[in-house]
Structure 1
Amino acid sequence: MSENGYEEFNGSEAAEPSSEVYRRRRIVAALIALLAILLLIWGLTWVFGKIGGSNDDNASSAASTSESSEPFDSFSARPSESDSASADASESADPSDSASPSDEASASESADPSASASAEATDTPEATDSATPSESAEPTQTPEPTPTEAQPLACGASNMNVVLSASQPSYGKGQNPSLALTYTNTSQNPCDIPADAQNVVINITSGSAQVYNTATCQVSPAAVAQLAPGQVGQTAFTWDRKLNSLGCNNLRDIQPGYYWATATVNGVTSEPARIIISG
């Protein structure tokens, strides 16, 4: 208290606010809290809305993808023969299918200049001249092989067949037996028969007795020197009904009876041919 009876106010003690002030402060605080709650709710709603929107977009895109990936979704029905014919006619008549001059020009302009340069380089006369053979070079001719002639082998049992036959079954008085001799080359190559009296021999027997042999007196039918493949040689021989088994200087006439003749050509002997002398 001052001397005048007034209570001094030093500023350190503040007057307590009234209940009205407290009420207003509570209202303001409540409004701020309510506003904060509303802002929070709005923020959460916005965030969830964005998330939900993105999910909806993904779902719609997935749905569109699944719809577009449906099997045979873009498959067109098979055209009938008349439709395909009309389609072919329209395609062949459509001038848009052929390349336009501008497309060809753009394609030629877009071509690699280095490729055109290399093409020009290959078209130069120098490259062509180097690729052509020189005129001085002579073609090498391969000599044709000389055909080798088949060397003839000796006619023998493996490549020759010999047959002797009488001209008739029996011969009467005054008839000389005539014999036909054939020899055939049965191989695919020529074969040789040397022209020697000892290589073509006619032998005549009667039972076990020797009667006549052409080699005894060097009387031999003519023989070819070579037989071609498949060639048949023929020789005729006439027996004068003489016996020369006692020597060429002791010839005798034979008696009627049965005789057997064989022919041997180059070592190959024929089957016996029967000769009947009846008179």
Structure 2
Amino acid sequence: MSEDMDLPPEVYRRRRIIAAVAAIIILILLIVGITWAVNTIQNRNTNEAVPSATATAEAFQNFSARADVTASPTGSASANPSQAADPSKSPDPSASTTSAAVAACSAQNLKVTVAPSKKQYAAGEAPSFTVTYTNISKTPCAIGGDKAENGIELNITSGAAQTYSKNKCAPAPLKKAELEPGKEATGEIAWDRKSNASGCEKTKDAEKGTYSVVASVNGVASQAVNFTLA
């Protein structure tokens, strides 16, 4: 008979308890090991996935922030010689040539008249004059310009003595423009009854009497017209 058959029951009980405890410990260790392994694998996969996602995001941002390569050539092409060579977008030389070819109005094609608003003005009443200029030719001519003589001039005299010159103290050139054949234009000029014959800072009241007024446009003078100051 073997020695195991001679062991008391307490020994068998003790062995069973030890075996059960050992099995439980092994099971716990197994569970812990499996859990650790799973977590390790998951963490590793997560760490590998994050840089990839970050790199993808950065690459997308860099791509979206780059200049549109397709649009650039189109934009530059619009400013390149192909457009400059487009005759439809080039200046029309005929318009500027025509404008430059229009000669200034002169005595040959411009008629100037002046008309006082009254034949006689009461004491203290300021005279006014209507100046009319007409293109009497069959071609356009140009009036006005930067020079004072290209404006409307008004000269008032008393006999042979100069009394007033509009452009002497306040020159006002006309804006350059074309006057078509047969067309006329007018301008109104007032006179404050001051004589500036002695200078712009030495004006004085004009005396009573008869005066003559002559208007000129582009250097073309009108016929003299008389009026009276009371």
User: Which TM-score bucket, shorter chain as reference?
Assistant: 0.5 to 0.7
Q: Which structure has the higher relative contact order (CA within 8 Å, separation 6+)?
A: 2
Match of 1:191 in 2: 141
* Mapping 1:149-188, distance limit 5 Å: 149=98, 151-188=101-138
Please state how far the C-alpha of 1:164 moved relative to its aligned partner. Answer: 0.6
Please state how far the C-alpha of 1:227 moved relative to its aligned partner. Answer: 0.8
The amino acid across from 1:181 in the alignment is V
Deviation per residue, 1:111-146 (Å, 9 max, x gap):
xxxxxxxxxxxxxxxxxxxxxxxxxxxxxxxxxxx8
Q: Percent identity?
A: 38
Greater Rg by CA: 1
The amino acid across from 2:217 in the alignment is V
* Mapping 1:1-279, distance limit 5 Å: 149=98, 151-195=101-145, 196-199=147-150, 200-220=152-172, 222=174, 225-278=177-230
Question: For 2:169 and 2:124, how far apart are their aligned partners in 1?
Answer: 23
Structure 1 residue runs without a partner (length 5+): 1-145
Q: Which has the higher strand share?
A: 2
Match of 1:82 in 2: none
Structure 2 residue runs without a partner (length 5+): 1-93
Deviation per residue, 1:1-45 (Å, 9 max, x gap):
xxxxxxxxxxxxxxxxxxxxxxxxxxxxxxxxxxxxxxxxxxxxx
Match of 1:128 in 2: none
- Aligned residues, how many? 133
Task: Give the structure-2-normalised TM-score.
Answer: 0.53
Question: For 2:98 and 2:174, how far apart are their aligned partners in 1?
Answer: 27
Q: SS state of the match for residue 125, structure 2?
A: coil
Q: SS state of the match for residue 149, structure 2?
A: helix
Please state how far the C-alpha of 1:218 moved relative to its aligned partner. Answer: 2.5
Output the aligned Cα RMSD. Answer: 2.1
Instruction: Indicate conservation of the 8 Å contact 1:212/1:243, yes or no.
Output: yes
Q: SS state of the match for residue 184, structure 1?
A: strand
